[in-house]
Chain A
Amino acid sequence: MLGSLAHVVRHHLAALRMLLVFTVITGIAYPLVVTGIAQGLFPHQANGSMIKDSGRPVASALIGQNFDHPPRTDQTTPAPDPRWFQPRPSAAGSTGYDPTRSGASNLGPNNATLSKTIAQRRTAVAAFDGVRPGSVPADAVTASGSGLDPDISPAYAYEQVNRVARTRGLDPAAVRRLVAAHVSGRQLGFLGQESVNVVQLNHDLAALK
């Protein structure tokens, strides 16, 4: 009995030693080697594809941002700022686009609250952009999976051109050209779908005179 117990203990100690060996190889050495190579060869990507203004990081090109007015105390949700292209609705954090709280709404396909929210968003976006409610594209009224989606559809970007141009006093044609330059096609011609990165678009918009 005592002999078999000693055997069991020995067996588990060997198992623990094997686990520690694998921890060193796959848990320490492997990520350090990958980090070394990544930082050496692709430092821009490895550090988050940051966009900088005079050396100061203002965005990651991959992480969406809010483009709204600073929230007033009497408001629960901040109002979108008409001078910027607006991103998709976001379920990350209470005000959206909070990278410390990535995630989706998780509302079901027949959830009554979700259908109501979508209808309200449609009305609000149509009024904000001055278009018919029926023409507002689906990505403008739905929250993404990560809550950090930096992209919108080209249709939603073009819908916002007149509003942005008007509030900034810019030529709509110039703004439209800027959007066209930011439409990224499918990768390799067939992967994913055409998108406009709102973060990069707005960053370049700020420089447009």
Chain B
Amino acid sequence: MNATLAGWLQIIALVGALGLTFRPLGDYMAHVLTSPRHWRAERLVYRAGGVHADAEQTWPGYLRSVLAFSMVSVLFLYGFLRLQNHLLLSLGTEPVAPDLSFNTAASFVTNTNWQAYSGESALGHLVQMAGLAVQNFVSAAVGIAVVAALIRGFTRKKTDRVGNFWQDLTRIVLRVLLPISLVMAVVLVAAGSIENFHGFESITTIAGRHQSVPGGPVASQEVIKELGTNGGGFYNANSAHPFENPNAFTNWLEIYLLLVIGFALPRTFGKMVGDNRQGYAIVAVMALIWAASVAIVTANELHSVSSTAGHAAGGMLEGKEQRFGIWASALFAVSTTLTSCGAINSAHDSLTPGGGGLTIFNMMLGEIAPGGTGSGLYGILILAVVAVFIAGLMVGRTPEYLGKKLRGREMKYASLYILTTPAIVLAGTGVAMALPGERAAMLNHGPHGFSEVLYAFTSAANNNGSAFAGLSANTVWYNTALGLAMILGRFLPMVFVLALAGSLAQQQPVPVTAGTLPTHRPQFVGLLSAVILIVVGLTYLPALALGPLAEGLH
């Protein structure tokens, strides 16, 4: 079989697998988020945690619970990292420096998983599994909880209640994330990933030299890192590391896992709003953007477009693993930047200008195709609100989406959501470029160096976590600035989403009339796709022109 056919087949198999799980997983998550019954295990969790899981919350109450849980998580993780040398399984590691601890705590709590440290040299096993991996579960669940509240805003009427955060959080962890992780972790080990509590094992190699082979509970963390679109690697090389991602099958499975919840959630949405077609329209937009991005990045990498190094080598293999090759690396790079995952199986810094530029653009889209667990769906629903509003302006009618009027108040929340992330990205990048010391942290010169900084702030503010890793980001300034970008980029949008949910829930639905814009037809799929590309394109074009576009034209 030739490489092109094999490349196409692995994409088709991926789409097929995602299609097969779309309905069952989407329906199951809708059931989990709406069922009136608690599991006995959940009651135990509520009792141990001392929370009232039956009392429905207003949107400010829901938000306070999200923020309290996240703030406590940041402090707990910070303390964990600072004190890790006193704990079990520390493998002789030092306490993590204060600025790096802050950055890492913010990073994992916000589902970003930006890593300014190197896992194998900086962290012990206990902090990885009981500190970082816990946030892999709960930060993913927080995202799904928030989108559940937003969907309830559309489905409920004349109420100020949007659900109970503790109930949503617990059910998502226990009924969705944990069972899938358990099964898939065992599959990963069977396929070659490691799962043990060893430290470095010193061996004499075949050629008689010395090598230290690492250990760790890797597979259990690898699975939730993909499934929860977290992306924080056990080792520095992330999913390029053979122990995290030993072969082409595990690579395919990891791409599937990092996409599966994001692509199934529109079904959950359609099911919950009582019209599956609404979910199909959303997933169609996601799939279109994903497919276009896969095509563009793969073509750029296959043909070494605008890369002198690629032409010198006879192929874009710098930073890529032989067992994956270009097709599987491009597929991973696109999927990880269109979700909020940020795991990598190749060095994005060494992608072609077009391929690397598109990974930045993917994140700039707000990670909505399909996006992070929960955050992708609420991101695209906000854009759908904007699309409906724009259509309403064109025909001079009060816009409505799913029976709810989009008035000044709703549009203010939607606009603030859209403006927040670009403000953080562009201000952060601008300040970094104005400071000589921070400019010097770039590994590469010229436009590509600028792309490294732009990538860093885009990745942090969008809670992606992947990097053009040439940037020396482990400095007090970058750790602090990027840590703040992650926190603001995660929680400010959540404030606006929950405020919008509260505002929608209070409305009495308006009946559908002949003048209502249908939001389930191809026409709306086209409209929404165009709105996404135009809004994001206009916002970021100048910054992209200075980085990847300048490099590609050079």
Task: List residues of A whose CB falls within 8 A of some B CB.
Answer: 11-19, 21-23, 25-28, 30-31, 33-35, 37-39, 41-42, 45-50, 56-60, 62-63, 65-68, 70, 81, 84, 88, 92, 97-112, 114-115, 118-119, 122, 136-139, 141-153, 186-193, 195, 199, 202-203, 206
Q: Is the CB–CB distance between B72 and A144 below 8 Å?
A: no
Instruction: Specify the chain B residue showing the minimal Cβ separation from A148.
Output: B242
- Are B182 and A65 touching (Cβ within 8 A)? no
| Interchain CA distance A116-B306 in the complex, whole Å | 16
B242 touches A192 (CB 8 A): no
Closest Cβ of chain B: how far from A105's Cβ, in Å? Answer: 7
Interface centre among A60, A92, A152 (most CB of B within 10 A): A60
Q: Which of A16, A65, A193, A206 contacts B325 (CB 8 A)?
A: A193
Determine whether the beta carbon of A100 is less than 8 Å from that of B200: yes
Question: B212's contact among A46, A100, A122, A188, by CB below 8 Å, is which?
Answer: A100
Task: Return the CB mask of B41-65 against A: 1 if under 8 Å, else 0.
Answer: 0000100111100000000000011
B309 touches A139 (CB 8 A): no
Residue of A nearest to B119 (CB): A102
CB distance B221 to A31 under 8 Å?
yes
Chain B residues whose C-beta falls within 8 Å of the C-beta of A18 in the assembled complex = 45, 49, 51, 69, 166, 169
| A149–B219 alpha-carbon span in the complex (Å) | 19
Cβ contacts under 8 Å, A153 to chain B: 322
Interface contact A142-B317, CB-CB below 8 Å: yes
Question: Cβ of B320 < 8 Å from any Cβ of A?
Answer: yes
Q: Tell me the complex Cα distance, A108–B65, Å.
A: 43
Say yes or no for B381: interface residue by CB 8 A criterion. Answer: no
- Whether B1 and A11, one on each chain, are in contact in the complex, defined by CB atoms closer than 8 angstroms, is no
Residues in chain B near residue A136, CB distance under 8 A: 314
Whether B349 lies near A107 (C-beta < 8 A) is: yes
Q: B residues within 8 Å of A by Cβ?
A: 1, 3, 5-6, 9-10, 13, 45, 48-51, 64-65, 68-69, 71-73, 76, 118, 120-121, 129-131, 133-134, 137-138, 166, 169, 173-174, 178, 181-182, 185-186, 189-198, 200-201, 203-209, 211-215, 217, 219-221, 224, 235-237, 240-243, 246-249, 251-252, 304, 306-310, 312-325, 327-329, 344-347, 349-353, 356, 443-444, 448, 451, 468-470, 551, 554
User: Min CB distance, B23 to chain A, in Å?
Assistant: 25
Q: Are A192 and B186 in contact (CB under 8 A)?
A: no
* B53 nearest CB across to chain A (Å): 10
Q: Are B209 and A23 in contact (CB under 8 A)?
A: no
A19→B178 CA distance, assembly (Å): 15
Query: What separation, in Å, do the CA atoms of A104 and B318 have in the docked complex?
Result: 8
Q: Which residue of A lies closest to B137 (CB)?
A: A26
Q: Give bound CA distance, A41 to B190, whole Å.
A: 8
Question: A118 is contacted by which of B224, B237, B313 (Cβ under 8 Å)?
Answer: B313
A103-B233 Cα distance, complex, nearest whole Å: 12
Q: How far is the CA of A109 from the CA of B305 in the complex (A)?
A: 9
Q: How far is the CB of B110 from chain A (nearest CB, A)?
A: 15
In angstroms, how far is the closest chain A Cβ from the Cβ of B68? 4
State whether B444 touches A107 (Cβ < 8 A).
yes
Closest-by-CB residue of A relative to B301 is A109
Contacting A109 at CB < 8 Å: which of B185, B212, B307? B307
Chain A residues contacting B470 (CB-CB under 8 Å) are 106-108
Contact of B321 among A34, A35, A99, A151 (CB under 8 A): A151
Pair A145/B248 contact, Cβ less than 8 Å: no
Closest Cβ–Cβ distance, residue A104 to chain B (whole Å): 4
Contacts of B352 in A (CB 8 A): 109
Give, as a whole number of angstroms, the nearest-CB distance from A167 to chain B.
Answer: 13
User: Closest Cβ of chain A: how far from B60's Cβ, in Å?
Assistant: 12
With contacts A11-B65, A39-B195 taken as known, whether A34 is within 8 angstroms of B349 at the C-beta atoms is no
Report if A110-B307 is in contact (Cβ < 8 Å); known contacts: A22-B134, A104-B349. yes
Q: Given the complex of chains A and B, what is the CA–CA distance between A119 and B195 in angstroms?
A: 40
Return chain B residues, CB-CB under 8 Å to A119.
Answer: 312
The 10 closest A-B pairs by CB, nearest first: A192-B248, A145-B240, A138-B315, A104-B347, A27-B130, A109-B307, A106-B470, A146-B237, A102-B237, A18-B49
Picked from A39, A62, A122, A190, the residue with its CB within 8 Å of the CB of B242 is A62
* Contact indicator B68/A109 (Cβ below 8 Å): no
Shortest Cβ distance from A82 into chain B, in angstroms?
Answer: 12
> What is the CA–CA distance of A152 and B322 in the complex, to the nearest angstrom?
6
Inter-subunit contact A193/B3 (CB<8 Å):
yes
Q: Out of A15, A42, A195, which one reaches B69, CB within 8 Å?
A: A15
Nearest to A23 among chain B residues (CB) is B134
Provide a sorted-by-A list of 12 A–B residue pairs whose CB atoms are within 8 angstroms: A35-B220, A37-B189, A48-B196, A68-B207, A104-B240, A111-B309, A138-B314, A143-B319, A144-B317, A145-B321, A190-B1, A202-B206
| Closest chain B residue, CB of each to CB of A67 | B207
Known: A105-B347, A106-B468. A26 touches B173 (CB 8 A): yes
Which B residue sits closest to A33, measured CB to CB? B182
Docked pose: A153 CA to B213 CA in angstroms: 24
Least CB distance from A191 to B in Å reads 4
In the complex, the answer to whether A106 meets B443 with C-beta atoms within 8 Å is: yes
Query: Do B189 and A30 touch (CB < 8 A)?
Result: no
CB <8 Å contact, A63 and B310: no
User: Which residues of chain B are near A97, meaning CB under 8 Å?
Assistant: 211
Measured CA separation A189–B12 after assembly (Å): 14
Distance A78 CA – B124 CA, assembled complex (angstroms): 32
Instruction: Tell me which of B13, B322, B444 contacts A108 (CB under 8 A).
Output: B444
Closest B-chain residue to A95, C-beta based?
B209
B446 nearest in chain A by CB position: A110
- In the docked arrangement, what's the CA distance between A170 and B316, Å? 35
Cβ-neighbour of A186 out of B1, B174, B192, B322 (below 8 A)? B1
The distance in angstroms between the C-alpha atoms of A150 and B328, with both chains bound, is 17
Determine the residue in chain B with the shortest Cβ distance to A196: B322
Query: In the assembled complex, which residues on chain B have CB atoms less than 8 Å from the CB atom of A191?
Result: 6, 10, 248-249, 251-252, 328
Q: Knowing A57-B201, A67-B206, A138-B315 are in contact, say whether A104-B350 is a contact too (CB < 8 A).
A: yes
- Which of B198, B306, B324 has the most chain A CB atoms closer than 10 A to its own CB? B324
- Would A110 and B324 be within 8 Å (CB), given that A56-B204, A115-B312, A186-B248 are in contact? no
